[in-house]
Chains A and B, each alone.
Chain A
Amino acid sequence: MADIERHDYDVIVIGAGGAGLRAAIEARSRGLRTAVVCKSLFGKAHTVMAEGGIAASMGNVNSRDNWQVHYRDTMRGGKFLNNWRMAELHAKEAPQRVWELETYGALFDRTPEGKISQRNFGGHEYPRLAHVGDRTGLELIRTLQQKIVSLQQEDHAEHGDYEARLRVYPECTVTELLLDEGRIAGAFAYWRENGRFLRLEAPTVVLATGGIGKSFKVTSNSWEYTGDGHALALRAGANLIDMEFVQFHPTGMVYPPSVKGILVTESVRGDGGVLRDAEGRRFMFDYVPEVFKGSYADSEQEADGWYSDPDNNRRPPELLPRDEVARAINSEVKEGRGSPHGGVYLDVASRLPAEEIARRLPSMHHQFKELADVDITAESMEVGPTCHYVMGGVEVDPDTAASGVAGLFAAGEAAGGMHGSNRLGGNSLGDLLVFGKRAGAGAAEYVAGLGARPEVSQADVEAAEQRALRPFEESGSAAAQHPYALHGELQQVMNELVGIIRRGEEMSSALDELAELKDRAGHMAVFEGNRQFNPAWHLTLDVANMLLVSECVARAALRRTESRGGHTRDDHPGMDATWRRRQLVCEHRDGAVTVTERTHPPMRRDLLELFDITELRKYFTADELGEVTAEL
């Protein structure tokens, strides 16, 4: 085989979203020679789409907020299935990570005292989300991008080369992790622009590849969300956990069809917007579940009072965690009370003055005007659930972000555990920063303690090359398959059979269909063009990842016979306390996905003590509670 481009680093960060960039900043600041590889141009990663804000208990708007309150909210949101150590680190460190962004040049919206302003969001007890209008993700990505540039400027001043210690590889896709006796030795990638291959050698890889939403037909996710990191980790021997939990955001656009799925930020509700059925009724009052009754209002009057007097009123039910709101909308529509295009109404027009709406929600205003001819300052929006976020991901050590594979780290949406069965809005951006930094530090420590550097084997490189080129050979075969069509079929299967409401038989048939698709996917072909910027070729490689990850979702979902967070089963509608401690682990062995069950470790005592026993009783089994009460 021809010689391919080759580079040596200490760490390869795969992904240039919030998690990847924060990891790279950390790694480079600790002296590692760092590469950041990403599928899109620098600054375009999915994080750019985040709207509402970053959750961090800075207490700038309500001084009662602190990490303990944030921790409790996070655990409740995840229905106590979260990795408690991750939730703890996140709640404790998020404020510092947000403040640090200001030292990189970020400009958040301000409070009258000149501090960072914070807004209300679903499941968060106090106003907690640091934000910039409804374009917080853009601010986050641009700030981190500009910090990377400033580090490169330092290197330029010192070494005369911007890329001496930190280089970004834009539009470059990793297709394979390279191992040396089970340890990370590097990564194999291709340049999208010309299809040439790259051999990157490094003893550590940080996966920060984001989510899997492009496996579903209706999604708020961007082109990049094909589960590459999840699949790379699995194939390298790491575990995926909690894959059955997929968050359907309650409010995506539903009309016109071409925009179906595009997100309508939760800030609309955080800032006062309410959900109504076709008759104009605020239906969320009918859907407050038992476990949340104490903290959510049961009348419109009380709910409306909360915005100005949160101490004496309970929260509006529109601000329940996302899984609850999404299910409620789904039921309303199913029972015939929906809007003409199969959604419900989200009304902010009657709740805030027009100028206020335009000021607080500029990109929603713009989005509806441009894409749907709807003026949200005057009319209601039509909204419905859309696939938004995957709680499941690579199993990692909370403190170092290390996976089970030596040298492999994961952070951000690609990592699992932090959010349990359901993520609270705003907790992802915090997660990216907290665990991105920790992953960079984890990689640095690993490199420091490394003996001999692992070596990439030429045979593995050649195998990776052959695998990547196979679709070019398939075009002549009688069984050749079109990647676009196959992708469409996959999205249909996942949306219909493993979507927001699930049933045992449907998931079994989904698994049959996935198996059939997988067979056909082996024959995906590039029918036209060469290796130069060829989206059909790129898609063949992405679809293989999506299929593997979808299988994990379906298998784990079939196994969990209860409903909890981002996993709702029609045939097992209740939350079952015996399932709370059980975690499902996906592994890839001999080409097949297996799911095994494992018991969550019990929560540390001081963290348990942050909750009231009556609340714990709603989630824990009597047996466990016996243990707990004995402990308390």
Chain B
Amino acid sequence: MAYQAHLQVWRGDADSGELRDYTVEANEGEVVLDLLHRLQATQCPDLAVRWNCKAGKCGSCSAEVNGRPRLTCMTRMSVFAEGETITVTPMRTFPVIKDLVCDVSYNYVKAREVPSFTPPEGLEPGEYRMQQVDVQRSQEFRKCIECFLCQDTCHVIRDHEENKESFSGPRFLMRVAELEMHPLDSYEEAGGNRAEEARGEHGLGMCNITKCCTDVCPEHIQITDNSLIPLKERVADQRYDPITRFFRRKKD
């Protein structure tokens, strides 16, 4: 049942920091976040860690556990051996603020750069009609809890600060795909081109579909197969085959 677990937690701030060792009780069924909370309550009251719902729904408690991007509230202690040392570090792709909390404002900046849903003209609220099969594709992407683990793991920006400017990351490329597949989005009617913007403004071309983002997604969204690849195909169609593009627009 209860045992003493060995944790190594990164402590520090933007200037400096180190891994520190802790021994802390672990009880049946607990998750890594439970142990971090117990550390706060018993040994290091100022340990900074973000969390909200502790039920895998809000995406606040992201960190790296033994180097793997994870939600600490959904990482059961039972996946580790009792004697194992569990290392918890902040997400590496974002600047550290303190301990496990990092500055994720990059994501909010990128979110603002994706043009919003454009409502169709001539339809009043209550008049929207969409079939389940047609909304399902975008719904999958709307399961995203914005934990930013996919952004954290993406090698385009993980160790390449310089790419952040021109690359929005899987989360926001997926947002573009979501809007592109929204049955009633009329951004294109208004003269926009989401696929082209994904390539241009959001750096879709830098993604070489290694699927690391999909691997870490706690919502099991098929980010690569269902959003990034179709978006790339769309770009390819449009760029190399203006005729198909013309027909496709008509058909829509």
B residues less than 8 Å from A257 (CB atoms): 27-29
Contact indicator B135/A536 (Cβ below 8 Å):
no
Contact indicator B142/A149 (Cβ below 8 Å):
no
Tell me, yes or no, whether B45 is within 8 Å of chain A by CB: yes
Contact indicator A41/B53 (Cβ below 8 Å):
no
Given the known A-B contacts A99-B128, A532-B13, A536-B45, are A222 and B58 also in contact in the complex, defined by CB atoms under 8 Å?
A: yes
Contact indicator B29/A258 (Cβ below 8 Å):
yes
The smallest C-beta distance from A151 to any residue of chain B, in angstroms, reads 9
Tell me, yes or no, whether A316 is within 8 Å of chain B by CB: no
User: In the assembly, what is the distance between CA of A488 and CA of B40, in Å?
Assistant: 13
A residues less than 8 Å from B131 (CB atoms): 110, 114
- List CB contacts (< 8 Å) of A13-49 with chain B: 40-44, 46, 48-49
Residue picked from B30, B46, B48, B115, most chain A C-beta under 10 Å: B46
User: In the assembly, what is the distance between CA of A222 and CA of B57, in Å?
Assistant: 10
The smallest C-beta distance from B52 to any residue of chain A, in angstroms, reads 5
- List CB contacts (< 8 Å) of B83-136 with chain A: 97-99, 101, 103-104, 108, 111-112, 115-117, 119, 125-126, 128-132, 135
The smallest C-beta distance from A144 to any residue of chain B, in angstroms, reads 12
A residues less than 8 Å from B204 (CB atoms): none
The smallest C-beta distance from A355 to any residue of chain B, in angstroms, reads 15
User: In the assembly, what is the distance between CA of A135 and CA of B59, in Å?
Assistant: 13
Given the known A-B contacts A114-B130, A526-B46, A528-B44, are A46 and B117 also in contact in the complex, defined by CB atoms under 8 Å?
A: no
User: In the assembly, what is the distance between CA of A133 and CA of B129, in Å?
Assistant: 18
Tell me, yes or no, whether B76 is within 8 Å of chain A by CB: yes
Interface residue tally of chain A, by bracket?
35 or more
Chain A residue nearest in CB terms to B119: A103
Contact indicator A150/B51 (Cβ below 8 Å):
no
Partner of B146, one of A43, A135, A222: A43
A residues less than 8 Å from B184 (CB atoms): 102
The smallest C-beta distance from A372 to any residue of chain B, in angstroms, reads 7
- List CB contacts (< 8 Å) of A110-127 with chain B: 110, 113-115, 117
Given the known A-B contacts A46-B53, A107-B135, A256-B30, are A41 and B116 also in contact in the complex, defined by CB atoms under 8 Å?
A: no
Contact indicator B182/A105 (Cβ below 8 Å):
yes
The smallest C-beta distance from A484 to any residue of chain B, in angstroms, reads 4
User: In the assembly, what is the distance between CA of A147 and CA of B55, in Å?
Assistant: 26
B residues less than 8 Å from A149 (CB atoms): 111-112, 116
B residues less than 8 Å from A485 (CB atoms): 41
Contact indicator B112/A152 (Cβ below 8 Å):
yes
Tell me, yes or no, whether A212 is within 8 Å of chain B by CB: no
Chain B residue nearest in CB terms to A103: B119
The smallest C-beta distance from A434 to any residue of chain B, in angstroms, reads 14
Partner of A223, one of B51, B74, B135: B51
Given the known A-B contacts A258-B27, A371-B29, A528-B46, are A533 and B101 also in contact in the complex, defined by CB atoms under 8 Å?
A: yes
A residues less than 8 Å from B99 (CB atoms): 533
The smallest C-beta distance from B116 to any residue of chain A, in angstroms, reads 3
Contact indicator B30/A138 (Cβ below 8 Å):
no
Partner of B45, one of A109, A259, A482: A482
User: In the assembly, what is the distance between CA of A339 and CA of B45, in Å?
Assistant: 37
Contact indicator A99/B135 (Cβ below 8 Å):
no
The smallest C-beta distance from A327 to any residue of chain B, in angstroms, reads 25
Contact indicator A146/B116 (Cβ below 8 Å):
yes
Contact with B along A527-540 (1 / 0, CB 8 A): 11100111111000
Contact indicator B116/A48 (Cβ below 8 Å):
no
Contact indicator A115/B56 (Cβ below 8 Å):
no
A residues less than 8 Å from B49 (CB atoms): 535
Given the known A-B contacts A110-B132, A533-B99, are A370 and B139 also in contact in the complex, defined by CB atoms under 8 Å?
A: no
Residue picked from B58, B125, B132, most chain A C-beta under 10 Å: B58
List 13 other contacts, CB 8 Å, given A102-B125, A114-B129.
A43-B146, A44-B146, A102-B128, A107-B142, A107-B182, A133-B139, A138-B57, A138-B142, A193-B103, A223-B52, A223-B53, A255-B29, A529-B45
- Which residues does A use to contact B, with CB under 8 Å? 40-44, 46, 48-49, 58, 95-96, 99-100, 102-105, 107-110, 113-115, 117, 132-133, 135, 137-139, 142, 146-147, 149-150, 152-153, 156, 162, 170, 193, 222-224, 255-259, 262-263, 363, 366-367, 370-372, 482-485, 488, 526-529, 532-537
| A-B pairs with lowest CB-CB distance, top 4 | A256-B29, A529-B46, A105-B117, A150-B116
Q: 15 A-B contacts, Cβ less than 8 Å apart?
A: A44-B59, A48-B58, A49-B57, A104-B117, A110-B132, A114-B130, A114-B131, A138-B145, A147-B116, A149-B112, A193-B103, A262-B54, A528-B46, A535-B49, A536-B40
